[in-house]
Structure 1
Amino acid sequence: MGAGASSILGTEGDGAHETGLGDLPESCIAEVMLRLDPPEICRLARLSRTFRGAASADFVWETKLPKNYTYLLEKAFGVKWREVLRDRKEIYARLCRRNPFDGGTKEFWLEKYKGRLCMSISSKVLLITGMDDRRYWNYIPSKESRFHVVAYLQQIWWFEVNGEIEFNFPPGIYSLYFRLHLGRATRRLGHRICSTEHVHGWNIKPVRFQLWTSDGQHALCHCNLNEPGYWIRYHVGDFIVESAEVATKVKFSMKQIDCTHTKGGLCVDSVFICPKGFRQGKVSPSPPC
């Protein structure tokens, strides 16, 4: 779309001049941008100086930010965020990047199209049964993790991973996933190689996934882990947040505690929370609950 395509030409000789999109009042353009998604606003900003000015208006970007964006900024930058971030467009762009908190063990960000919140929680802050015994578990470096480290299980009888997060989520419906990988991935001569030496026991009995919230919501499902060599997000369940004014505590777990057989060869990377319907990466089909 360009100014020439929308121009209105006067009749020959009547002294009229060519009128283009750049002649529209900046306030009118801004009103249109209120109804567009952020990437569309940024594309329109390239058309002219007037569009660029409208695309920088604070009242336009205020509507794209979550209502509790000041809480998110304080979570990421502390109380001094006002000293480094001023206009709303800059705030939106910064919140769309990775924002670590709690010592870098958790991250949140806004997905850029709708400004909805996503979150990732490292395996380092999950309570893993047997984690302190290196015969069973080890933390290993991984370039395939947002946190550069994953928990790797060699073999165990009693498998249990628990965690929780307390956060002022913007209102909406959220989905929670465990990001898991069967086999140990490495790189050799520039190629990705997956060792499945210790993968066993996951096809005998399913893993039980659960979540609970502080306002009484609960989800439960069972799923067999399969497909070695792929990072897969296993869907635990959904929860609803009504208000950002009150912190929501979410507890979650995955268990396989049938001690008739051992299981091993599993990488636990993180827990992923995102708006329901948002897809990023390979996700397991939701099993019947």
Structure 2
Amino acid sequence: MKCIELNMLPEDCVSIIISLTSPLDACRATLVSRAFRSAAESNVAWEKFLPSDYEDIVSRSITSLKFSSKKELYLHLCNPILIDGGRKSFKLDKSSGKKSYVLSSRELSITWSDRPEYWSWKPSLKSRFLEVAELRMISWLEIEGKIRTHMLSPNTMYRAYLLINITHRAHGLDLLPSDTFLEMGNQIISANTAYLSCKDKKKHQMECLFYGNRTQRTKSRVIEGDERFARERDDGWMEIELGEFFSGDEEGDQEVKMSLREIKGYQLKGGLVIEGIEVRPK
């Protein structure tokens, strides 16, 4: 059987072959030869790497995206863009093309966030969004976000993270760990506990001493599960993992609920800043 060298194939055929690989492989193919470079940068190849609903996503961007090729559009989308009136952020993973979203605090359900005595809405230089939610003082902390699986890349493991900061006036946040839940359909698939901030150990010890007996009585009400802690990010925020889930195939569509609650301790809490919830590939 006679073998045919790839560089002898028509450029369209090579483009189709490259489109069956990955964006990272396509970039590597540009180094093989001049012919490969042309095929690897073609619209035929890069349209396959874009999500199937890319035209809808581009139309929802709050800024006009200018591009002369599908590869250029792909690279644009590898940097976060604001969509849906600036209430969500969208981006593609550069090496895989998988989709990720950040739901702004305005997209979340935050109990009593419409009451200025409990929550304030303010701009933040660190945030990608116009405003963030800052907890002034409350005893009932409940935050929930929702996303549908058809918005995500199919057959992909995702993790959800609450994006937060803690002000210097923070108090009462970690006397008890918060409960985190991730629900898919009507089934809870992840339930754990999380500490929002334990940076100031002396302050935490003083609060535990002050609330003492109440803390011990209410600890028995906290769900059992892995204890998670806020982790610092490169963008100036901290993140707490809420759970992970599998997006399923393109035919199915389920609602995913992601939440954090601390409603058992009844102590006053304050100084928590919410940017949103990020849903990204694992």
TM-score by length of 1: 0.70
Q: How many angstroms apart in 1 are the aligned matches of 2:67 and 2:149?
A: 22
Is the counterpart of residue 64 in structure 1 residue 64 in structure 2?
A: no
TM-score by length of 2: 0.71
Q: How many angstroms apart in 1 are the aligned matches of 2:37 and 2:170?
A: 55
Contact kept? 2:101, 2:279, Cα under 8 Å: yes
Q: 1:201 to 1:175 in 2, by over 3 A?
A: same
Q: How many angstroms apart in 2 are the aligned matches of 1:36 and 1:100?
A: 29
Is the counterpart of residue 233 in structure 1 residue 217 in structure 2?
A: no
Q: How big is each residue's C-alpha offset from its partner over 1:130-186, in whole Å with a ceiling of 9 and x where there is no partner?
A: 212222211121121121421111221111112212351222111111011111xxx
Q: How big is each residue's C-alpha offset from its partner over 1:197-224, in whole Å with a ceiling of 9 and x where there is no partner?
A: x211122101111121227452111112
Q: How big is each residue's C-alpha offset from its partner over 1:253-286, in whole Å with a ceiling of 9 and x where there is no partner?
A: 111112531111111111000111xxxxxxxxxx
Shift, 1:34, TM fit: 5.3
Please give the residue correspondences for 1:257-276 in structure 2 after superposition, counting only pairs within 5 Å: 257-276=263-282
Q: Aligned AA for 2:194?
A: C
Q: How big is each residue's C-alpha offset from its partner over 1:97-127, in whole Å with a ceiling of 9 and x where there is no partner?
A: 3343332201221111111111100001212
Please give the residue correspondences for 1:89-238 in structure 2 after superposition, counting only pairs within 5 Å: 89-168=71-150, 169-171=152-154, 172-183=156-167, 196=168, 198-214=169-185, 216=187, 218-228=189-199, 230=232, 231-238=237-244
Q: How many angstroms apart in 1 are the aligned matches of 2:42 and 2:252?
A: 30
User: What is the DSSP-based 3-state SS (H/G/I as helix, E as strand, rest coil) of the residue aligned with 1:199?
Assistant: strand
Q: Aligned AA for 1:273?
A: V
Contact kept? 1:182, 1:227, Cα under 8 Å: no
Partner of 2:220: none
Q: How many angstroms apart in 2 are the aligned matches of 1:25 and 1:156?
A: 67
**What is the identity percentage for the equivalent residue pairs of Structure 1 and Structure 2?**
30
| Partner of residue 30 from structure 2, selected from 27, 45, 61 | 45
Higher RCO, 1 vs 2 (CA within 8 Å, ≥6 residues apart): 2
Partner of 1:6: none
Is the counterpart of residue 253 in structure 1 residue 238 in structure 2?
A: no
Q: Aligned AA for 2:162?
A: F
Structure number having the greater helix percentage: 2
Q: 1:271 to 1:123 in 2, by over 3 A?
A: same
Q: How many angstroms apart in 1 are the aligned matches of 2:130 and 2:264?
A: 31
Contact kept? 2:149, 2:247, Cα under 8 Å: no
Shift, 1:91, TM fit: 4.3
> Which runs of at least 4 in structure 1 moved beyond 6 Å after TM superposition?
23-26
Q: How many angstroms apart in 1 are the aligned matches of 2:153 and 2:126?
A: 28
Partner of 1:189: none
Contact kept? 1:182, 1:228, Cα under 8 Å: no
Partner of 1:9: none
User: What is the DSSP-based 3-state SS (H/G/I as helix, E as strand, rest coil) of the residue aligned with 1:119?
Assistant: strand
Partner of 1:16: none
Shift, 1:242, TM fit: 1.5
Q: How many angstroms apart in 1 are the aligned matches of 2:191 and 2:101?
A: 21
Structure index of larger Rg: 1
Q: Aligned AA for 1:220?
A: A
Q: How many angstroms apart in 1 are the aligned matches of 2:80 and 2:244?
A: 23
User: What is the DSSP-based 3-state SS (H/G/I as helix, E as strand, rest coil) of the residue aligned with 2:56?
Assistant: helix
User: What is the DSSP-based 3-state SS (H/G/I as helix, E as strand, rest coil) of the residue aligned with 1:271?
Assistant: strand
Partner of 1:8: none
Q: 1:94 to 1:25 in 2, by over 3 A?
A: same
Gaps (5+ residues) in structure 2?
A: 1-6, 61-65, 201-231
Q: 1:227 to 1:148 in 2, by over 3 A?
A: farther
Q: Aligned AA for 1:170?
A: S
Q: How many angstroms apart in 2 are the aligned matches of 1:34 and 1:70?
A: 14
